[in-house]
Amino acid sequence: MYNNKDRILLIGHGSPKKEANNIEAIGNLLHKTIHPGCRGDCVKVAYLQFVEPDLMTALRDCINGGVERVIIHPFFLSSGMHVTKDIPELINEARNLYPDVKFYYSEPLGIHEKLVEIILDRVNSIDGLKGAEIEKRSFNIISKEDDFTGIPDEQLPIIKRVIHATADFEFKRTLIFHPEAIKTGIQAIRAGKDILTDVEMVRTGINKRLLSQWGGKVICNIQNLEDDEHTNKTRAERGIEEALRGENNIGIIAIGNAPTALLKAVEILNQNASAFSLKPILLIGVPVGFVNAVESKTLLSTQRFPFITNLSRKGGTPVAVAIVNALLKMAKEEK
């Protein structure tokens, strides 16, 4: 629709108040939408009063660039005198000056259904809006912005909560679930099982109020460990190992940062496969990073015991926390 011989020109009213003259931002957004990655000057802006450039100056800049068409949009809400008289007169003057260039004049913003969505967005963003309402709106936006057709219903709350926590729709494609993962996680929560984390940040983010109604608690051993120069194991790895060797009430392991901790958890669960088959543990492994993160998650994705992971470098505390909190909410809804 648009080529390198076209220019779009947005016209604003202009104001003596400097911060009110901001349609350049709209112009930049429009340019990125219609010409992704373009470094040209395809969308220009002008003002009728108080601010440079004025309309004729902006039109002259467009023409000097060798364009064949100029599409002019009045960035106004209604068709007042500026839109119906002042701007058209200036455009007619430009037509006489530049007969070889075609000028097109669009309708103003006017009454449009999309404006209702913008108004609702502004109203709902007022300070004091309840967190639950903001969260609900966020999930509605997520549902509208991507197609979740074909994803099992039981996985949707987890995938959407991870996207909500990261603003990254890639997780819709990269998250992987063992067939028994969600059922195992919910059963563990409702049975009052504890949740073991690799680092304190993951422990802090988990909704302990929801977990406590079932009697479970969140465990993280890393704070209790000193650096040990006689071993090449990381503190996170040692924390997971000590907890799994000595704690009998763990139902979920959530690892968001340390690939070494994830590898150790996989090793221990396999070494004690017969015992854990009677009391299955859900292993959530989503470490982030460039060293062993993908490798550890790839290994986890091949296991027979229940797991949730994602096959990419991305992950981290927000992802691990989002998965656990989604399971906690699902457990509450089942109750």
For 52-207, list the strands marked E by DSSP: 69-74, 102-105, 175-177, 194-197
Tell me whether residue 31 is one of the annotated catalytic residues.
no
Structural contact between residues 326 and 161, judged by C-beta atoms closer than 8 angstroms: yes
Helix, coil or strand: residue 254 = strand
Which helix (H) or strand (E) covers residue 283, if one does?
A: strand 282-285
Q: How many secondary structure helices (H) and strands (E) does the chain include?
A: 16, 10
In order, the DSSP letters of 101-149 are SEEEE---S-S-HHHHHHHHHHHHTSTT--HHHHHHHHHHHHHHHS--T
322 exposure class (CB count in 10 Å sphere: 0-12, 13-18, 19+): buried
Strands 307-310 and 175-177, sheet pairing: antiparallel
Q: Which of 331, 323, 335, 269 is nearest to 300 (CA)?
A: 269
- Single out the catalytic residue among 112, 164, 178, 230: 164
User: How crowded is the C-beta side of 107, counted as CA atoms within 13 Å?
Assistant: 5
Residues 130, 12: Cα–Cα separation, whole Å: 35
Other CB atoms within 10 Å distance of the CB of residue 152: 10
Question: Annotated catalytic sites, by residue?
Answer: 164
